[in-house]
């Protein structure tokens, strides 16, 4: 599936970045950054409740497709601005991680 | 090759980044620049990824644990060498520091998702050769080699 599908079909809100055509091949959820660094694969949709700007370095160093901030958590302006500068796609949704996993699974991320 | 020593021979390109301590807002900038440079040089994606992870963890450790330091990257024809040096406080027990899960990160750092105690193990895992030397009160030196062919 594409990042675009999360936005258009599932109502995720894009708050930064531009590349909606990025494919999502993997999904991962963890809030410990060096754990993510060890396990994260390329083209991953990464679900995390961390919202400070260090998540951007993790996502871009690992070539993630997007970062998903769940449960309606708001993201600092500083992070959004930096994400735009670095062209990292940040998505927000009111859904919990489990609901997000279900959507991705049903869209073929397996 | 068991002691920390900079190998200045046959360096095609040298990168140097100074890392300030406690500057969370800039943490990750140096490793992002290193990654960008390696991509421009058309270095294999898997090598770029390993260097990116190793330099990121080194950079974050300089920010959260050290009094400041620097990262140097030597790009060579057969490998990439990464040198990380700081000016203290040093590591008391290196074996303990290298243990997965061991961390002395502050609560503030932990709330930000640091402090899993995985950084040094990640760095070692990404490298074909890994040397760490540390002296309390003096500082820590780390050398990592990532070879193009293994
Ligand atoms: N440059 C350094 N100077 C002094 N101590 C260090 C340095 N780097 C690491 N340490 C010590 O080694 C411990 C383990 O480091 P490691 O990178 O594995 O984990 P962490 O930084 O605590 O957590 P994580 O990297 O998972 O966010 C640190 O908690 C710290 O006590
Ligand atoms: Mg660390």
Q: What is the pLDDT of residue A108?
A: 96
- Within 8 A by CB and 6+ apart from A32, the residues are B113, B115, B116, B118
Q: Cβ of B113 and A31 within 8 Å?
A: yes
Residue A93 has pLDDT above 70, yes or no: yes
Instruction: Find the helix or strand (DSSP H, E) in which B145 lies.
Output: strand B139-147
pLDDT in tens, chain B (150 residues): 589 999 999 999 999 999 999 888 889 999 999 999 999 999 999 999 999 999 999 999 999 999 999 999 999 999 999 999 999 999 999 999 999 999 999 999 999 999 999 999 999 999 999 999 999 999 999 999 999 986
Q: Which is the closest atom of ligand 1 to the Cα of B90? A: 4
Q: Is B120 in the pocket of ligand 1 (CB under 6 A)?
A: yes
Residue A12, CA distances (Å) to A54, A69, A100 in order = 22, 10, 10
Residue B24: the pLDDT is: 86
Give the E-state strand segments of B22-137 in sequence order: 69-75, 79-86, 129-135
B101 to chain A: closest CA residue = A35
Taking the C-alpha atoms of residue B138 and residue B131, their distance in angstroms, rounded to an integer, is 17
Taking phi over 0 as left and psi of -120 to 50 as alpha, with beta for the rest, B60 belongs to: alpha
Q: Are A82 and A58 in contact (CB under 8 A)?
A: no
Task: Determine if the peptide bond prior to B89 is cis (ω within 30°).
Answer: yes
In this predicted structure, what is the pLDDT of residue A104? 98
Q: Are A31 and A47 in contact (CB under 8 A)?
A: no
Helices (H), A2-106: 3-10, 33-39, 54-61, 77-86, 97-106
Average pLDDT in the A38-66 region?
97
pLDDT at A6 exceeding the cut of 80: yes
* Percentage of the residues of chain A whose pLDDT score is greater than 70: 100
User: Which residues of A fall below an 8 Å CB-CB distance to B?
Assistant: 31-35, 37-38, 42, 48, 50, 52-58, 60-63, 78, 86
- Return d(Cα B120, Cα B104) in angstroms, integer: 13
**Does ligand 1 come within 6 angstroms of the Cβ of B140?**
yes
Query: Global pTM?
Result: 0.96
- Is B78 inside any structural domain? yes
Structure tokens at B133: 């030397």
Answer yes or no: are the C-beta atoms of B112 and A54 closer than 8 Å. Answer: yes
In chain B, how many domains are there?
1
Which of B54, B97, B100, B121 should be mutated for ligand 1, with most atoms under 8 A from CB?
B97
B100, part of any domain: yes
Q: Which atom of ligand 1 is nearest to the CA of B114?
A: 27
Dihedral over Cα of B94, A33, B71, B73: its sign: positive
Query: Which residues constitute the domain of residue B121?
Result: 13-147
Residue B28 and residue A37: Cβ atoms within 8 Å?
A: no
* CATH code matching the domain that covers A3-106, chosen among 3.20.80.10, 3.40.1390.20, 3.10.20.30, 3.40.50.720: 3.40.1390.20
Which pLDDT score, from 0 to 100, does residue B150 have?
66
Domain ranges of chain A: 3-106
- β strands within B3-122, DSSP E: 13-19, 69-75, 79-86
Q: How far apart are the C-alpha atoms of B113 and B60, rounded to whole Å?
A: 12
What mean pLDDT is predicted for residues A46-59?
97
Least Cα separation, residue A72 to chain B (angstroms) = 18
Which mutation among B66, B87, B103 tests ligand 1's pocket best, with the greatest number of atoms within 8 A of CB?
B103
B chain contacts of residue A73, beta-carbon cutoff 8 Å? none
Burial of A25 (0-12, 13-18, 19+ CB in 10 A): middle
CATH number (domain holding residue B31): 3.30.565.10
Q: What is the DSSP letter of A2?
A: B
Q: Is the CB of B114 under 6 A from ligand 1?
A: yes
Q: Which residue has the tokens 């303990």?
A: B96
- Residues of chain A with C-beta less than 8 angstroms from the C-beta of B31: 57, 61
Task: Confirm whether B7 is domain-assigned.
Answer: no
């Amino acid at each position: 599936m594409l990042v675009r599908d999360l936005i258009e079909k599932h109502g995720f809100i894009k708050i930064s970045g531009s590349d909606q055509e990025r494919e999502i091949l993997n999904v991962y959820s963890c809030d410990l950054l060096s754990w993510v660094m060890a396990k994260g694969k390329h083209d991953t949709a990464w679900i995390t409740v961390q919202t400070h700007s260090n998540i951007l370095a993790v996502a871009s160093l690992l070539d993630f497709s997007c970062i998903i901030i769940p449960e309606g958590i708001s993201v600092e302006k500083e992070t959004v601005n930096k994400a735009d500068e670095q062209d990292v796609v940040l998505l927000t949704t009111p859904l919990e991680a489990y609901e997000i996993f279900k959507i991705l699974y049903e869209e073929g991320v397996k | 090759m068991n002691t920390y020593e900079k190998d200045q021979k046959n360096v095609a390109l040298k990168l140097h980044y100074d890392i300030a301590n406690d500057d969370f807002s800039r943490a990750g900038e140096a490793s992002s620049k290193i990654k960008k440079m390696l991509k421009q040089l058309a270095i294999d994606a898997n090598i770029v990824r390993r260097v990116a992870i190793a330099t990121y963890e080194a950079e974050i450790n300089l920010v959260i644990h050290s009094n400041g330091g620097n990262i140097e990257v030597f790009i060579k024809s057969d490998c990439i060498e990464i040198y990380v040096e700081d000016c203290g406080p040093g590591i008391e027990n290196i074996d303990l520091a290298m243990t997965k899960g061991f961390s002395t990160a502050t609560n503030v750092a932990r709330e930000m998702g640091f402090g899993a105690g995985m950084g040094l193990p990640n760095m070692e895992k990404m490298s074909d050769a890994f040397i760490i030397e540390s002296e309390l009160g003096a500082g820590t030196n780390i050398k990592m080699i990532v070879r193009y062919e293994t």
